[in-house]
Amino acid sequence: MALLEVKNLTKMFGGLRAVGNVTFHVNEGEIVGLIGPNGSGKTTIFNCINQYYTLTSGDIFFEGKSLKGLKTHVICHMGIGRTFQVVKPLSRMTVLDNVTASAFCRVGSIKEAQGEALRILEFSDLMDQKDKLAKSLPIGKRKRLEIARALATKPKLILLDETAAGLTPSELDAAIELIKKMRDSGITVLIVEHIMKVIMSISDRIHAINFGQTIAEGTPHEVANNPAVIEAYLGEAYAQC
């Protein structure tokens, strides 16, 4: 049984069909990439998975249980962590407090939460930033803080929404390392990414969408050579060559 199953997911905003009939699954231990041009509905799918949006139709199952109608915080407790594309740091809290607040998701006492937060900061290489206010971090570190915060909730599945966008080449390599490290520690990853270097090098499988519809799925190699994907990214003229 797949860890996450998205079945015929449809999300309408009034008359606009942002996501239409998308079906895919994520197996335990995998890194699955979700790609598509701007506005193709990737973030909407994430927002549907953690029920920030209510689904128009279709259903989403996590470990066999339907997520439909649950509250966002309940989904986090079930074991789905997420990061935001437009980072949402808790600005006037220190980096350590940001992660501690998330760690309370699993532990009750402040001592345990802080211990867990320190462990996560070590894991995600943010230890030297721990006493800085979140708002003082540069974008690369903020993206990392997003990941650290999601990790502190001890997720089984983590949804990464363009965590590599806006990073310098060296930060990019570090981000790839971090994602691999997460997978190795037993966390399943569903990742939205535009940077092909990241998505092609780490994904086990890729699901490509455009205009809210599935256009291709398969291994990175298969998807990269799929005419529909090339057309979506580069235009019709390139699809024929």
Partner 1 sequence: MEKKHIPYIILGLLAVAFPFLVTSDYYLHLVIITLMWVVIGSAWNLLAGYTGQVSFGHAMFFGIGAYTAGIFVTKLEISAWWGMAFGGIVAMLIGLFVGWVCFRLRGPYFALATLAGGEIFRLIATNWESLTDGMVGILTIQTFRSKLPYYYMALALAFMCIVVIHLIMKSKWGYYFVSIREDQDAAESLGINTTLYKNISLLVSSFFTGMAGAFYMNYMGFIDPHVVFSLHYISIMAILVGIVGGVATIMGPAVGAFIMVGLQETFRSAFFGLAPSWTSEAHALVFGLLVIFVILFLPNGVVGDWLKIKRNVFRVRASSERY
Alpha carbon distance 57, 91 (integer Å): 36
Supply the minimum distance, in Å, between the C-beta of residue 136 and partner 1: 14
Alpha carbon distance 144, 165 (integer Å): 11
CA dist 53 → 2, 23, 85, 139, 144 (Å): 23, 17, 16, 26, 25
Structure tokens at 125: 């290489």
- The residue (of 10 and 114) whose beta carbon lies closer to partner 1 is 114
Supply the minimum distance, in Å, between the C-beta of residue 138 and partner 1: 19
Q: Are the C-beta atoms of residues 77 and 105 closer than 8 Å to each other?
A: yes
Supply the minimum distance, in Å, between the C-beta of residue 133 and partner 1: 11
Query: Which class for 189: exposed (0-12), middle (13-18), buried (19 or more C-beta within 10 A)?
Result: buried
- The residue (of 52 and 211) whose beta carbon lies closer to partner 1 is 52
Supply the minimum distance, in Å, between the C-beta of residue 101 and partner 1: 4
Q: Are the C-beta atoms of residues 206 and 199 closer than 8 Å to each other?
A: yes
- The residue (of 87 and 175) whose beta carbon lies closer to partner 1 is 87
Identity of residue 100: T
Binding site for partner 1 (CB under 8 A): 50, 52, 71-73, 76-77, 81-82, 84, 88-93, 97, 100-102, 104-105, 108, 110, 113, 149-150, 152-153
- The residue (of 96 and 232) whose beta carbon lies closer to partner 1 is 96
Supply the minimum distance, in Å, between the C-beta of residue 119 and partner 1: 17
- The residue (of 154 and 207) whose beta carbon lies closer to partner 1 is 154
